[in-house]
């Protein structure tokens, strides 16, 4: 498994992971009609721009296929003084989960944040997302909740935070790839 910085050539693979991950992770949580409406082509266009504007890392399998990605940067709202960075998104195809790849993708973003002088971060996740257990296992602490609406369904989102004293921001790591 290779973790590396994404290029615009990876946009199609990232879009594939993004759409497929939403469809598997949020089945039964988000309305099916919304999940079915997700477009690989639209996501690819979004990621072509996103790769240019943000730090995006991908996980590539031995065949060079994108199987996961993470992206992050400065905390976007300015509402959380104690959390200067943000893990904007992390997605991994279901069959590649629970193999340590997610940890590597998170670590890539943490390393970038630290290089920018950002020594804490948060991530928002739907409360029913099974990945919440992953964030807790990584030492994330619940710091806030808010209600969102997707396709007419009200959902709860939770923010997990890692402060400057967390393990992630106090240990040195070796970046892969």
Per-residue confidence band for 177, with pLDDT thresholds at 50, 70 and 90: very low
Instruction: Give me the sheet containing 141-150, strands edge to edge.
Output: 2-5, 55-60, 66-74, 85-92, 121-126, 153-162, 141-150
Domains (ranges, CATH) in the chain? Answer: 2-170 (3.40.630.30)
- pTM confidence score: 0.90
Q: What does pLDDT average to over the chain?
A: 92
Q: How far is residue 88's CA from residue 54's CA, in Å, rounded to a whole number? A: 10
According to the model, what pLDDT value does residue 175 have? 43
Can you state the percent helix, strand and coil of the chain, rounding each to 5? Answer: 40, 30, 30
Q: How far is residue 110's CA from residue 112's CA, in Å, rounded to a whole number? A: 5
Distance (Å) of CA 141 to CA 39, 99, 159: 33, 22, 8
Q: pLDDT tens-digit profile of 85-144? A: 999 999 999 999 999 999 999 999 999 999 999 999 999 999 999 999 999 999 999 999
């Amino acid at each position: 498994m290779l973790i590396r910085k994404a290029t615009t050539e990876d946009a199609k693979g990232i879009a594939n992971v993004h759409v497929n991950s939403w469809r598997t992770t949020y089945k039964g949580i988000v309305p099916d009609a919304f999940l079915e409406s997700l477009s690989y082509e639209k996501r690819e266009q979004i990621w072509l721009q996103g790769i240019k504007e943000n730090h995006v890392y991908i996980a590539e399998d031995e065949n060079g296929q994108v199987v996961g990605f993470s992206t992050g940067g400065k905390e976007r709202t300015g509402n959380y003084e104690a959390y200067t960075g943000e893990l904007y998104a992390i997605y991994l195809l279901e069959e590649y989960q629970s193999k340590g790849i997610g940890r590597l993708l998170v670590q890539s973003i943490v390393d970038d944040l630290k290089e920018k002088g950002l020594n804490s971060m948060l991530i928002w996740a739907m409360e029913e997302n099974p990945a919440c257990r992953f964030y807790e296992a990584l030492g994330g602490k619940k710091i806030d909740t808010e209600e969102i609406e997707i396709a007419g369904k009200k959902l709860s989102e939770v923010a997990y935070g890692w402060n400057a004293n967390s393990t992630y921001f106090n240990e040195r790591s070796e970046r892969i790839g």
